[in-house]
Structure 1
Amino acid sequence: MGETSTHFKVPAAAEERGVCLGPDGAVAHVTRVVRMVQGRWKLPILFRLYADSTMRSSRLMRDMPGISQKMLTQHLRELEKDRLIERIDFAEKPLRVEYQLSARGRQLMPVLIEARRFSASHPA
């Protein structure tokens, strides 16, 4: 038999398992990303900001029927804390604030779009 590609292989040796399972392994990193987008409204917020580069919270509320002001504010703060979005405060009276994807958020979007493709090609 010829040489086979090993880049798809999961490390089997005990000393290599840390790459997948250790505190700095794949599981920890993927879990961290899942936690960042966990929440009923976080993914809709991210996809809306991906579709329109900058939005005010009032527009996000109109575009996502069913979300309360409290939940929108909570999720926006969490996404900002995780540095997936940026809050732009114009320091004007009346208050004007807009939100946009951060560089980190833009890097995450291809992963989320690929997850959507995976889901669409593997129906429940």
Structure 2
Amino acid sequence: MTGETSTHLKVPATDEERSACLGPEGSAAHVIRVVRMMQGRWKLPILFRLYADPVLRSSQLRRDMPGISQKMLTQHLRELEQDRLIERTDFGEKPLRVEYRLSERGRRLLPVLMAARAFSAEHPG
């Protein structure tokens, strides 16, 4: 940073500055919201699997993630859909045929996840 002051590195001094960082619409609240979207043992594996293959059925996801129960897969898929990170397409066929893909919002999350991966690789342990 050349000559610029970052307000993100300062301790907020005024109520207005504190609100920008810590208020209900502050920086911390937004980051916490994103972290909550990804909470759950299987959400990140599901997202990364959908980054690798743009369209998958739940049976394919379950095969690729040994150890996940059908109940947990269904729960995490529903939560990811509620957070609008993935899209579900039900073809209305018997037997049931449903496909999952990343939404635009989910695709926009990839650089954030890759930055977190790079940070982890640079700071092991």
TM over 0.5: yes
Structure 2: runs of 5+ lacking an equivalent: none
Unmatched 5+ residue regions in structure 1? Answer: none
Q: What is the distance in 1 between the residues matched to 2:110 and 2:10?
A: 26
RMSD: 1.3
Q: Percent identity?
A: 72
Worse-matched range after superposition: 13-22 or 65-74: 13-22
Q: Aligned runs of 1:14-53 on 2, under 5 Å?
A: 14=14, 15-53=16-54
**Residue 58 of structure 1 aligns with which residue?**
59
In structure 2, the partner of 1:4 is 3
Equivalence map 1:44-123=2 (5 Å): 44-123=45-124
State the TM-score, normalized to the length of structure 2: 0.92
Shift of 1:9: 4.1
Q: C-alpha separation between the residues in 2 aligned to 1:12 and 1:24?
A: 15
Give the deviation of 1:95 after TM superposition: 1.1
Counterpart residue number, 2:13: 13
Name the CA distance, whole Å, in 1 between partners of 2:9 and 2:121. 26
C-alpha deviation, 1:71, in angstroms: 0.3
Query: Aligned letter for 1:41?
Result: W
Deviation at 1:16, TM superposition (A): 1.4
Identify the range of structure 1 (9-18 vs 71-80) with the bigger mean alpha-carbon deviation.
Answer: 9-18
Amino acid at match of 2:23: G
SS in 2 for 1:5: coil
Count of residues in correspondence between the two structures:
122
TM-score of the aligned structures, taking structure 1 as reference length: 0.93
Would you identify which runs of 4 or more consecutive aligned residues in structure 1 move more than 2 Å?
7-13
Q: Deviations along 1:28-68, whole A, 9 cap, x unmatched?
A: 11110000000000000000001100000000001001000
Q: Which amino acid aligns with 1:6?
A: T
